[in-house]
Structure 1
Amino acid sequence: MSWDSQHDRAFWISPEERIAFYLNRQELFEIDLAQYEEVKSKTHWNRKEMRLVAYQDYEYTFTHWYCKHIVHLPRIRNIRTLPFYKSYKDLHSLMNFFQAFDQAGKSHANTKYPLFYGEAGDTGGIPCIRKSRKSDDNTSVIFNFRSLRLTSPCSEAASVDIPWKKKKNDVIWRGATTGQEQRVVFVEKYFGKYDVGFASTKQKPHLNHLKKGKVTIKEQLRYKFIISLEGNDVASNLRWILSSNSVPIMTKPYWQSWIMEARLEPGVHYLQLNDDLSNLEEVLDWAVANDDACREIAENGKKYMSQFLDQNHDLPIQKMLLDEYAKRLTYNHN
């Protein structure tokens, strides 16, 4: 999808600044292979999710074909155990990694990149390439992994959205019990006051009393305001909310991903909750009294997200990132 004729680029970030951000502003990446193997062997998840991957090793394999032609299909993308494979995270991530080479050039195809397929796992200071990092993580590198889960819903949101004036002047949130206690605290506090609740409590069944019926993206977009809460890492609904005519309400982002959450500004791209989640009523009172300003915040979010949704613009940046990483990477074999 190309957004050049539809959106003002005032909110777009230069490719150079984006690359610097994703690379954590590091000039060199030195990886001691002994240390890498030690970190990889520490936990069950690291053994599964840390991989040294070269595009050249996969180019003519069944895995490459499967990622290119099968994984993205609507009936396949949400299956947790994919046909022929036990796991889906690696294939979803590999799909994005392969796509950069397939569509934007095959330079550095023989470089072995240290990919991490997981979410909140600790990679022990190894400059792994992953889909998200904490704000105080000074080593990890960000890539556009798991786009089927995080970015694809933006197209759905755009197709089913309604104009601002037709939306309910109210707030909604649905989500799982994943992550730290933030979501639990939020739902316990606001369950009886707003349309807020857990759609799934599989991980924490003792919270069944805080469940409410599942709602689709289309149904959530009937509301002007949608809560966005981080879970295991980034909030999975943030990208499609920003792509819509609704306004995200959220705390200052702690996790960073491909959309550079650190560059989002309260009052410009979203309405800010206190870290203790105590001020939702105040935020909504302000929002009701400042309807035009909120509509502009929704528009700003769409302009900001457009740079990540325009594949003609974004995919070359993904490949530039991999090229720059390869140029700065050295392995210590001692």
Structure 2
Amino acid sequence: MSNVLYQGIAGSIKTPVYGGRGGYSMEAMDQFRKHLCKYRYYIGGNLTSVIPRSYWQKRLAFHLARLDAMTPEKRAAIIGRVNYYNKMTSSFAFPRAMNSECQLYISKKSTAYKMDLKNVLRFFPDDINCSYWFGDIVTIPDFPTFLKSRPITAGTENANSVLLKLNRVRHYYVVDDTLSFERKIPGLMWRGKSNQPERVEVLRRFYNNGLCNVGDTHAPGKSTDYVRPFLSIPQQLQYRYILSVEGNDVATNLKWIMASNSLCLMRKPKYETWFMEGQLIPDFHYALIKDDYSDVEEKVNFYNDNPGLALNIIRNANIWVEKFFKEQDELLVELLVMQKYLQLSGQVPVLESLK
């Protein structure tokens, strides 16, 4: 088996992985890569946390100045993303004093969430107030709040749900897929936990379907009748079609599917994150399937007969993913999302470009 290069979230790590006779298994090497990405993420976060906050605050002007140096087209794209993540248009006041150690909503305590939030907050004054809500959030808060996920709604109905790139170490792990679409197994793949009715329906409908390889990866104590062995991302990417099914909120596998040479099949999503799932165009960025999954076999057969159409969608998906790994642009967008939040709450001066 030829070398395969994996790309991770922390600093776009790339490491050669070997397989084949006498080498490490694909699953073991993928687990090693994931652990390496996590170690680099947490070690890097801990090391930068000892740098005085005054240093980061001095760097804010430098990062914001990049916006003025951009072409009008790129500047418009950046501001468009900022206003998508932070849809608020009116000023607001806090119901009580808060800081980065406080929350209005009871939620999970997560080092990854906290680290990602603090990596943005450190660019701003020490005494700023903000509301945040960690975890898989599928409801809209009553007050403007930073979170990872929100329901997809029309217009500004979800404006109180202000998105940041939280828990990125888990949600932005992708691999460099060197296996072409044509060389992949012409069937459908899905692995996941049966933690939602939609996922149970997928397992029930396709577990014994010869065109599909789907399985429940719950721990033995929580097993169902649909258990199959865990498969690493590279193992799953040996299939042409990967099913993306929302779980507690978004589908974690959506990012690495769209970054690969496999075609993503999914229903129209109900929830979105920093990845802007609500802006994905059906049959342009992914192959749309019916809510009841009744046309999955039809779609697989259709794209097997029309590989050119599948390749066009895969190409569009790859382009969509690219922007989320441009680290300087990502930081700028996050800083502008925070800047807008603090402007509207009267805590920092208004930035002309965000008026």
Displacement of 1:298: 0.9
Moved over 6 A (4+): 10-13
For 2:213 and 2:132, the matched residues in 1 are separated by 39
Question: Is the CA contact (8 Å cut-off) linking 1:12 and 1:304 kept in structure 2?
Answer: no
In structure 2, the residue matched to 1:253 is 269
1:244 aligns with 2:260: yes
CA change 1:30–1:287 in 2 (3 A) is: farther
CA change 1:33–1:100 in 2 (3 A) is: closer
CA change 1:254–1:123 in 2 (3 A) is: closer
Of stretches 10-19 and 240-249 in structure 1, the one that deviates more from structure 2 is: 10-19
Question: Is the CA contact (8 Å cut-off) linking 2:138 and 2:149 kept in structure 1?
Answer: no
Amino acid at match of 1:244: S
In structure 2, the residue matched to 1:93 is 113
1:120 aligns with 2:130: no
Question: Is the CA contact (8 Å cut-off) linking 1:201 and 1:208 kept in structure 2?
Answer: no
Amino acid at match of 2:77: S
- Give the secondary structure class of the aligned counterpart of 2:94: strand
1:209 aligns with 2:225: yes
CA change 1:22–1:284 in 2 (3 A) is: same
Amino acid at match of 2:168: S
Q: 2:91 aligns with which of 17, 22, 28?
A: 28
CA change 1:116–1:326 in 2 (3 A) is: same
Q: 1:16 aligns with which of 72, 75, 79?
A: 79
After TM superposition, the score normalised by the length of structure 1 is 0.73
Q: Spell out, residue by residue over 1:231-263, the C-alpha distance to the aligned partner (whole angstroms, 9 max, x if none).
A: 000100001111111111000011010010111
- Structure 1, gaps ≥5 residues long: 3-9, 35-39, 50-86
Matches within 5 A, 1:268-283: 268-283=284-299
Identity percentage of aligned residues: 24
Equivalenced residue count is 269
For 1:196 and 1:217, the matched residues in 2 are separated by 14
Q: Spell out, residue by residue over 1:270-294, the C-alpha distance to the aligned partner (whole angstroms, 9 max, x if none).
A: 0011112211011112111210110
Displacement of 1:24: 2.5
CA change 1:122–1:16 in 2 (3 A) is: same
- Give the secondary structure class of the aligned counterpart of 1:200: coil
In structure 2, the residue matched to 1:37 is none
In structure 2, the residue matched to 1:166 is 183
- Give the secondary structure class of the aligned counterpart of 1:253: coil
Amino acid at match of 1:23: N
1:134 aligns with 2:151: yes
Amino acid at match of 2:133: F
For 1:126 and 1:201, the matched residues in 2 are separated by 37
Amino acid at match of 1:302: N
Displacement of 1:148: 0.6
Of stretches 277-286 and 116-125 in structure 1, the one that deviates more from structure 2 is: 116-125
After TM superposition, the score normalised by the length of structure 2 is 0.69
Amino acid at match of 1:18: R
RMSD: 2.9
For 1:108 and 1:311, the matched residues in 2 are separated by 23
Amino acid at match of 2:134: Y
Amino acid at match of 1:304: W
CA change 1:114–1:199 in 2 (3 A) is: same
CA change 1:134–1:126 in 2 (3 A) is: same
In structure 2, the residue matched to 1:199 is 217
Displacement of 1:48: 4.2
In structure 2, the residue matched to 1:226 is 242
CA change 1:12–1:272 in 2 (3 A) is: farther
Amino acid at match of 2:263: V
In structure 1, the residue matched to 2:106 is 47
More relative contact order, 1 or 2 (CA 8 Å, 6+ apart)? 1
Displacement of 1:25: 4.3
- Structure 2, gaps ≥5 residues long: 1-10, 13-72, 98-102, 348-355
- Give the secondary structure class of the aligned counterpart of 2:186: strand
- Give the secondary structure class of the aligned counterpart of 1:209: coil
For 1:221 and 1:258, the matched residues in 2 are separated by 24
In structure 2, the residue matched to 1:302 is 318
Displacement of 1:28: 2.8
For 2:136 and 2:328, the matched residues in 1 are separated by 27
For 1:222 and 1:19, the matched residues in 2 are separated by 36
Question: Is the CA contact (8 Å cut-off) linking 1:250 and 1:272 kept in structure 2?
Answer: yes
Displacement of 1:33: 2.7
For 1:13 and 1:219, the matched residues in 2 are separated by 39
In structure 1, the residue matched to 2:23 is none
CA change 1:296–1:139 in 2 (3 A) is: same
Displacement of 1:107: 3.2
In structure 2, the residue matched to 1:190 is 206
For 2:269 and 2:330, the matched residues in 1 are separated by 22
Q: Spell out, residue by residue over 1:189-208, the C-alpha distance to the aligned partner (whole angstroms, 9 max, x if none).
A: 111111011111568x3x52
Displacement of 1:138: 4.0
Question: Is the CA contact (8 Å cut-off) linking 1:161 and 1:221 kept in structure 2?
Answer: no
Displacement of 1:134: 0.6
Displacement of 1:26: 3.2
